[in-house]
Structure formats: C-alpha cells, structure tokens
C-alpha cells in the first residue's frame, strides 16, 4: 500500500509538471530509443544471416586462400605467393574421405549484355553442377549447370531475378542469348529468390561453368579457387578438416611452425564470426548512448533537487504529522524512478518505431526490425537504475530536512 501510494503521488507530480518532466527525461528517451532502434535492426539482420547459414546445413565447409599473414610482412621481404588451385581441389576430392559433395568456385566481375542493355552483376561465379546442393540454392525455372555442360564446354549461364530485371529479359528468359563479358551464352535457368544479406544482392549472381569462368577471368583465376563442400556427417567435420589441412600444407610445402596460406571454416565458425561483428556494432553504439543516459540521469538529479526545494514546506508538514525519514526517502526515490522509467518506456516505444521505419526505408530486402525481450527488459531496467542512482541524493537530502526549519521555509 505504501509503495502504491508513493507511486500515485509520483504520477501526480509528473502530471502537474508535464513539460518539465518531458524535458527532464529527454536524455533517457533519446538514449534508450537509440539503443533499441540499433538493436532491433541488428537482431533482424542476425536472424536473417543465421537463417541463411543454417540453410546450408551443419555439415557445410569452405576452403579459401588466406592473404592475412602477408599484410604483416616487413619491408624488403618478398611474401610467399598464396595459391589454392584446381589441382589442390581435385587432390582433396580424391584423397580426403568423408566428403559427400563439393564444388570449386571462381569469383569475378564482368559486364553482361542483352541487345542494347548492359548490367554489371554483383558477382559472376564459375562453379560445377553441385552448387545448388552444396549451398542450398535451388533453381526456380529451367535447370542448373549439368555435368555434361561442363564436359562439353557448353556456353550456358544461370541468372538471378535482379539480372533479369536489369537486362529486361521478360517473364521467360530461358533460351535467350546474352553476352557474359565477351562470350555468348544461353540462359538455361533462373535461381530462386534469395534477397539481400549483409548488403550483397543474392539475386544478382550469375553462374557459369567453372572452365568458362577461368577463360573469362584469366589463368590466374585457376590458382585462386575457393572450395565449397558438404561433409557426410557432423562428427566427421574435425577429421575432414584436419586431413584437408595436412594435405594442403604438404602440397604448398609449408614448413612446420609456419602459418597456413589457406583458411578452412565451417558453418558454426562463420556464424560466430558474423554474430561477433554484429555484437561489436551493438556494443559500440551502446557505449556512445551511455553518455546520453548519463546526461539524462544528471537532469533527473537536478530536477529532483529543485522539486525538494519547492516542496520543503510539504516535507515539513508530513514530518510534523508523523512521517518518518525513510517515508520521505522512499517518496522522492519512487518519484525519481518513476520519472526515469516513464522516459525509458517512451524511449523503448520510440526506438522500436524508428527501427521499423528504418527497416522499411533502407535499401534492399532488409529484414523486419526485431526487439528481443532481453533488450526491452535491459533498457527498462537500466533506466530505472538511473533513477535510483541519480535520485538517491535528492531523496536523502529531503529525508534529512529538519521539520521545524522546513515549516519556516518560504
């Protein structure tokens, strides 16, 4: 009953000074709104990335060249040439048991043309017939590259929805002739819609046979191959990874103690890396926004000190009729907590609204804003803690007032 009565008094005080209360909590409102809006966008993006990576399955693995160690070479030191060749990929396929399916990948960019239209896609990928199964990326219309296409060196291409739109290929592009770089190719399939992930348009990818990509991008492309594969079972992942590492170190003549010139990553590692990046973004924003919450807390302390001064006679009357020191302390502490909590609630609603609006106006298929319960609870709890911390001094000062001096106050 005492807490409920103090809460009623606190709300009455807020209603009596609406504008002052709003301006006082403005720092908390802005801080909480900023945190919640960023968290809502990051959580939505993390959900999208997690769904995309989990779609390829827990047995997914990628092997790629690693140029990281060359960036720390001293002056005058000639770095070792980093290579991951098609021969390496074939050796892995022959000598490493436990691999269910795999595809080499060559990446590059080239202008594609259809009649008087041209377009520069996000990426052109040279792959084999296993790509849809390895990456869980199916064909919506037509078909994907076949083993015969690769063996016969056919000039065929599979495209995405964005490419169709940019080249104005119409509703049925299968069978139409386009140019990929300087090479003519027949469209044989359209990939299913994937949207955007981390700013990359997955519907703007163009797939050509591996050998055609090597011809398109030059012989050096054959020495910088990326390998995507699926292991037969999850328990075999460590064994397959260790065998690939040993085989590549042997083929690349890497001495014991020297770092690998390649990188092997599994689904869990890619997911953890992405979550770490997104978590760092959230942490940096939260740290900056903490300054706004600090300013808001100082504002609450100042306004509560003014409130104590304005209500000095009221405090004296309450003490004269029997109110204890802790009663006065609790009254003003509840008022400070209520003030900051209301600001936190407004900031929470405002931040969610800003997140929803931003997710709709940002370019691409940005995922819907999502505010997890832990973020909402943490924002609300933190705003209440700000009220407790910065309201303690004014409340203590009010509780220590001498009733006789308070009654004499004008």
Residue ranges covered by each domain of the chain? 2-52+273-408, 67-260
Q: Residue 125: what pLDDT? A: 95
At 357 the pLDDT is 82
Residue 329, token pair as written in the block:
């302390």
Predicted confidence (pLDDT) per residue in 187-202, tens digit: 999 999 887 765 678 8
The pLDDT value given to residue 72? 46
Give pLDDT < 70 ranges for the chain.
1-20, 45-57, 68-81, 197-199, 268-275, 277-278, 281-282, 284-286, 288-290, 292-293, 309-323, 325, 362-370, 401-410
pLDDT number for residue 76? 43
Q: Which residues contact 367 (CB under 8 A, 6 or more apart)?
A: 44, 45, 47, 48, 359
Sign of CA dihedral 248, 250, 254, 257: positive
What pLDDT score does 78 carry? 39
173's tokens: 């592009």
Q: How far apart are CA 147 and CA 143, in angstroms?
A: 12
pTM exceeds cut of 0.85: no
- How many Cβ atoms sit within 10 Å of the Cβ of residue 257? 5
């Amino acid at each position: 009953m005492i807490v409920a009565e103090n809460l009623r008094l606190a709300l009455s005080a807020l209603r009596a000074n609406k504008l002052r209360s709003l301006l006082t909590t403005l720092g908390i409102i802005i801080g909480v709104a900023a945190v919640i809006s960023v968290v809502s966008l990051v959580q939505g993006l993390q959900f999208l990335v997690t769904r995309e990576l989990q779609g390829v399955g827990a047995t997914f693995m990628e092997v790629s060249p690693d140029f990281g160690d060359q960036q720390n070479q001293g002056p005058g030191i000639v770095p070792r040439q980093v290579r991951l060749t098609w021969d390496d990929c074939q050796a892995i396929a022959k000598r490493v048991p436990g691999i269910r399916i795999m595809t080499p990948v060559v990446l590059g960019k080239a202008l594609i043309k259809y009649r008087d239209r041209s377009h520069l896609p996000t990426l052109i990928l040279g792959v084999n017939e296993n790509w849809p199964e390895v990456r869980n990326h199916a064909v919506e219309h037509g078909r994907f590259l076949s083993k015969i296409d690769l063996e016969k060196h056919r000039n065929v291409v599979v495209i995405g929805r964005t490419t169709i739109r940019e080249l104005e290929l119409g509703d049925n592009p299968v069978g139409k002739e386009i140019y990929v770089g300087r090479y003519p190719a027949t469209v044989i399939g359209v990939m299913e819609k994937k949207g955007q992930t981390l700013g990359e348009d997955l519907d703007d990818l163009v797939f050509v046979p591996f050998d055609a990509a090597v011809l398109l991008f030059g012989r050096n492309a054959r020495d910088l191959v990326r390998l995507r594969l699926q292991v037969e079972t999850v328990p075999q992942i460590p064994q397959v990874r260790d065998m690939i590492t040993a085989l590549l170190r042997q083929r690349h003549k890497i001495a014991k103690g020297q770092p690998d010139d390649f990188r092997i990553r599994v689904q869990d590692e890619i997911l953890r890396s992405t979550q770490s990046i997104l978590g760092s973004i959230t942490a940096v924003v939260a740290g900056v926004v903490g300054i706004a919450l600090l300013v808001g807390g100082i504002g609450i302390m100042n306004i509560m000190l003014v409130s104590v001064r304005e209500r000095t006679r009221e405090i004296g009357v309450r003490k004269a009729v029997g109110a204890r020191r802790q009663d006065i302390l609790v009254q003003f502490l509840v008022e400070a907590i209520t003030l900051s909590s209301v600001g936190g609630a407004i900031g929470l609603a405002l931040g969610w609204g800003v997140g929803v609006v931003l997710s709709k106006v940002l370019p691409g298929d940005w995922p819907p804003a999502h505010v997890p319960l832990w973020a909402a609870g943490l924002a609300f709890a933190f705003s209440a803690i700000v009220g407790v911390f910065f309201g303690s001094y004014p409340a203590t000062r009010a509780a220590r007032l001498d009733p006789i001096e308070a009654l004499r106050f004008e």
